[in-house]
Amino acid sequence: MEEKKLEHPEERQDEKQEKKKQYPVTRRDFYGCVIILLIAIFLQGMQTRALIRRGNTQLENSIANRISSVESRIGNIPNSIETALREADNPFRESSVEIAAADLKAKKVTLRMTVMPKEWKTGDTSLQFYLSCDGGEKIAVDAAAGADHSFTAEKEIPFCETAAVTAILQRGDTEYPFDLGETSVAGAVYPYFSGEFLGSYSWVAVGKEATVGGDINVEVQPSDWMMQKDKSLTLKNPAIEIYVDGKRVQKHKMQAEIDDTDFTRYTYTIEKAFKVKEGQYIEVYFKAEDENGLKYTYLVDRSHVTNGDVETAESAIEAADSVQEGRLKVE
């Protein structure tokens, strides 16, 4: 049996001193480790805070989207209720108001009004349409019953901006009225005009006077009614007229360019510049006549010269028969 060797305390102390010499740890090393540890903790904290902020942002966006969705649904509730109540009160399964014929020269249209009741009872059902133009007096129009149990009536009326139609279904002693809404008349029958005046201004006298040039472009498209009836539109003698404070300063023929089957483009480049002064108005009109003898006057642009600049003025043509926001007059 081996004998256990006992170490002397002095020998153990010498061994510790020897290890310290082999692996010396200075204060600088110690503090450096502490600083590195603190930096690591700080960076980890920043990363954690960034993750928390990102999570909070996503949560806030999610909550905001849900709130917006709920508010939208709540906001649509009255509309849904109104639609449901209106449908419940509607005695008709189908209804329509359309332009059956139009005489542009006589300025008259024929409206065709049709409804199909949800229920049909033989012998005790009749119907009347009530028609008004531009909020005027209501005209009663008797409807005829068809073999398919629908009711139809036609009525010729003068041109107006809008026609409002109400149908009243009579069943015994009970009336069932229903508003069929408004229908555009003149705007749906007349050709559609659009245009622009691309003016160029050379200012003199410190913005008090300018010479004006530029390009004028006008597009004319057949109306919805014309396209439905496959009616063509041919304009004769297309011309542009330029006025300054109500006085005509230029008149020129315009060149037609048919770029598309749906519309015709007319263009003109001002060859001789005209002068304007501060405070004056410039008005550019397109004028033409169709094959029926109707004369169209379309206000392309109305501008006000002020303080060395030009601003668009309110468009207006003084005429009882004007459509397209008061820019078109038909005679």
CA gap 331, 319 in Å, rounded: 10
pLDDT tops 70 at residue 6:
no
Residues 316-325 pLDDT 10s: 444 434 556 6
pLDDT tops 70 at residue 122:
no
Residue of higher predicted confidence among 268 and 230: 268
pLDDT tops 90 at residue 307:
no
- Distance from the first to the final alpha carbon of the chain: 137
Choose among 156, 163, 153: nearest CA to 106. Answer: 156
When pLDDT is averaged across residues 238-267 and rounded to a whole number, the result is 86
Percent of the chain with pLDDT strictly greater than 90: 21
Strand boundaries in the chain, DSSP class E: 92-103, 108-117, 125-133, 139-142, 144-145, 151-158, 162-171, 174-184, 192-204, 209-221, 235-244, 247-253, 255-260, 263-269, 274-277, 281-290, 295-306, 309-312, 322-323, 328-330
pTM beyond cutoff 0.75: no
CA gap 233, 295 in Å, rounded: 13
pLDDT tops 80 at residue 168:
yes
Residues 48-92 pLDDT 10s: 776 677 766 777 777 777 777 766 666 665 555 544 444 556 788
What is residue 243's predicted lDDT score, i.e. its pLDDT? 94
Residues 104-113 pLDDT 10s: 888 889 999 9
Report strand pairing: 92-103 vs 151-158.
Answer: unpaired
When pLDDT is averaged across residues 245-258 and rounded to a whole number, the result is 88
Q: Which residues neighbour 326 within 8 Å (Cβ) at sequence distance 6 or greater? A: 299, 315, 316, 317
CB 273 within 8 A of CB 211: yes
